[in-house]
A and B are shown apart, each in its own frame.
Chain A
Amino acid sequence: MSAHPSPEQLGAYLDGELDAVARAAVDVHLRECGECGAHLAELSAVDDAARAVPLEVPEGYFEHFAPRVRARLAKKAPARWRPPAWGWAAAAAVLLAVLTPLALQEQGVSTTPVAQRLEPPPAPAASAGGRSERDAETGAKQDEGFAPPATIQASPAPAPSVAAPEAGKRAADHRLARRDQASAARRDEVAPLQEPAHPKREESPADAARSKEKLNEEQLADLGALGYVSPTAPAEQEGHAAPGAAGAGAPAAAPPPLASQRQHGPRAQNTVPREGRAEERKAAKADVAKDKDDAGFTEEPAAAGTVTGTLEESLAVTRRSRDVGQGAAWAKYRSLADGAAPRSDGEARLLREAWRSFADENPGHPQADEARVRVVEIGALAYRLGLRDQDRETALRDGQAYLERPATPRADRVRAALKTLEPTR
C-alpha cells in the first residue's frame, strides 16, 4: 500500500485541486485504505455540516441593503457630464464671430425670403450682446447637427443685393432661419409648462396639494440631485466627467443617437409662425433647459444664476418631451434611469412623480412598463425613507393599479416593493 496522503492532500483531493498525477495516486490509495477513506468522508461531512448552518440576518435587512448602497454611490458619484465653462465661452466666441458679421450683412439683404422672416435686428451693440448670452448656451448645441430645414432650402433663391459670396450668405440665412424655426418650435414645446400637472391621471387631494406647493430650498436641492435643475454653480464639478455618462444606460431597444434627433427630429422640421425676437429671447432660458434636458444630461446654464422653480416646473421637464417625439422620450428615460439615487423621501417623491409623468405621457414606450414599476418601487422607497403614511398609501395604490393591468411582466418586482410596505415587527 502506498503512503497515506497528508490531510492537506486529502483536502485538495476533496476540492478537486490536485493535478492529474497526484489525484490518480490518491485514488489508488483510497481503494486500498479504509482509514483514509473514512478520513475523507469526515472532511466532506465537515463541509456539509457547515453549509447546513443558515445565516441569521436581521429581519428586513436585505430589503434596504441595495438602496443604501445606491444612496452611498449617489453621494460619491460626480455630477453627470457637463461641458466645461470654457466650452460655452468658446462656443459663444465662435458664434459671435460668425453670426454678428452675418447679421450685419443680413441687414443689407432684407429683400430675401429668409431675411423677410426676420425682424430687423436691434442696434448692433445690443444685438451682439443679446445674442452672446443666449448663443453661449445654445450655440454649441445648435451646431451639433441641425441641418437647414428643407422648407428653407426649397425656398426660391434670393437675389442678392450685396456682393457677399452666395454660398456663405445662403449658409448664414439657413443658420439664422433654422435658429428662428427651432426657437419657435421650442416655444411651443415649452407651452405645456402651464398645463395642470397630471391631466391624464386622477389625483388625490394630497397629490394635488403637493403638486401646487412651491419648492423650498431643500426641494431645490432635491431637484438638483435628481438631475432636473442644478442648484449650485458647476465650476467645481466641471472637471469630473462621469465616464460614459452620455451613453449610459442604453435601454433595451437602442434609442436614436442624440445627434440624429437633432438632425431629423420633429423640431428641426417643424415650421411654425415666427414671433418677435424679443419674445424669443424671453424663451431662451427655457430653450436652453429644454435642449439640455433632451440631450439626456443636466447642465447649469452658465448665465442662469440661481435656479428657481416650482415642483410643477420640475415635473414639467418630463411632460415637455410630449411633443418632441420618441427620441426625446428616450432621452428622458435615460435621464431618469441614470439620475442620482434618492437620498431622502423628498427626492424619492420627486423621482416617483417624474417616472409617473414619463409613464403617463409615453404609454406605448418600450420602457413604459418599467416606468410604472419604478413608480411603485421608488414610491415604496419614499415611504421607507420618510415613513409617511401618505407615501405608503400612494405606493400601495400605485402597486395595486399596476397589478390590475392586463399585462404585468414585472409583477414580481411590484409585489416585492409592496412587501416592503408591510409593517415590520
Chain B
Amino acid sequence: VDPSEADLLAKARGGNLFAFEEIVKRYQRRVYGAALRIVRRHEVADDVAQEAFIRAHLALHTFDPTRPFGPWICRIAANLAINHIRSRQAREEPLPDEHLETPARGPGALEGLLDDEAGAMLRSALAGLPAEQRAVFTLRVFEELSYREIADALQINVGTVMSRLSRARERLREQLAAYIGPAGRRAGGTG
C-alpha cells in the first residue's frame, strides 16, 4: 500500500473529509469506469460511483489498511452496479441509444480492429452482453480482480464467475471473429 495512501486513509478514518476527498480523486476514474461498463448509463454510473465512495467511507473502519484500496472500492461499486442492474428500475430503463465508448486510434496490433467498423462492432458486442456477464467481464478484464474477489463482490460462487466470464469471452470472440482472429495472432499473446 502506498504510504501516502495509508496516511490519507488513516486520516479519513479519523474523520478528515479532505483526506478522503484525495482518496476519491485517486480512484474516481477507476470506480466510475467500472460502474459505467456495467450499467452503461452515465447518470446511473455517476450515482453508483458516488454511492460506492459514500459506503466505503462509512465502512472505512472495517477496511484492512494493509490491503489495497482499489479492489475494495471497485468491489463495492460493482456490487452496487449489479444490484442496480438486477433491480426493477433498471429493467424498465431504456437501453442507451448511443454508445458510451469511443474507439481508440493509433498504431499497434489492434489498429486494424479499432477502425470505425470494428470499433462499432466491439462497442455493440460489449453493450449486448447480458448484464451479469458484463459485470464479471468488467471486473476481470478491466479491474483485474481475482475470481474469488469477483465472486465476493457479486455474491456468487467462483464456478459461476468462471462460467459467466467464459460465456462473455466466447460471445465477444464470435462477434468479433472477423477482426480479432488475425489481430490476436499478430498480437501473439497468450496473455
Contact = CB atoms under 8 A, between A and B. Distances in A.
Q: Do the two shown chains form a genuine complex with each other? A: yes
A30 to B, nearest CB: 8
Nearest to B36: A55
B166 A46 contact: no
Instruction: Indicate the size class of the contact surface on chain A.
Output: 35 or more
A248 B20 contact: no
Contacts of A250: 10-11, 14
Please classify the interface of chain B as helix (H, G, I), strand (E, B), loop, or mixed, using the class held by over half of its residues.
helix
Contacts of B189: 41, 44-45, 48
Nearest to B103: A53
Contacts of B20: 69-70, 73
A374 B18 CA distance: 10
A48 B14 contact: no
Interface stretch (B64-72, B78-86, B167-175): B167-175
Nearest to B190: A40
Given A7-B169, A70-B21, A53 B101 contact: yes
Q: How large is the interface on B (under 10, 10 to 19, 20 to 34, 35 or more residues)?
A: 35 or more
Given A41-B184, A54-B102, A62-B32, 16 more contacts: A40-B190, A41-B187, A41-B189, A43-B169, A44-B187, A46-B169, A46-B172, A48-B184, A49-B180, A52-B113, A53-B104, A55-B29, A69-B21, A249-B11, A338-B14, A341-B17
24 contacts: A6-B166, A17-B146, A41-B190, A44-B184, A45-B189, A46-B184, A48-B109, A48-B184, A49-B176, A50-B126, A52-B103, A53-B119, A62-B29, A65-B32, A65-B49, A66-B21, A68-B50, A70-B20, A73-B17, A244-B14, A248-B14, A249-B15, A249-B16, A250-B10
Nearest first, the 5 closest Cβ-Cβ pairs linking A and B are A45-B184, A248-B14, A249-B16, A45-B180, A66-B24
Interface of B: 10-11, 13-22, 24-25, 28-29, 32-33, 36-37, 42, 46, 49-50, 53-54, 57, 61, 100-104, 109-110, 113-114, 119, 122-123, 126, 137, 140-142, 146-147, 162-163, 165-166, 169-170, 172-173, 176-177, 179-181, 183-185, 187-191
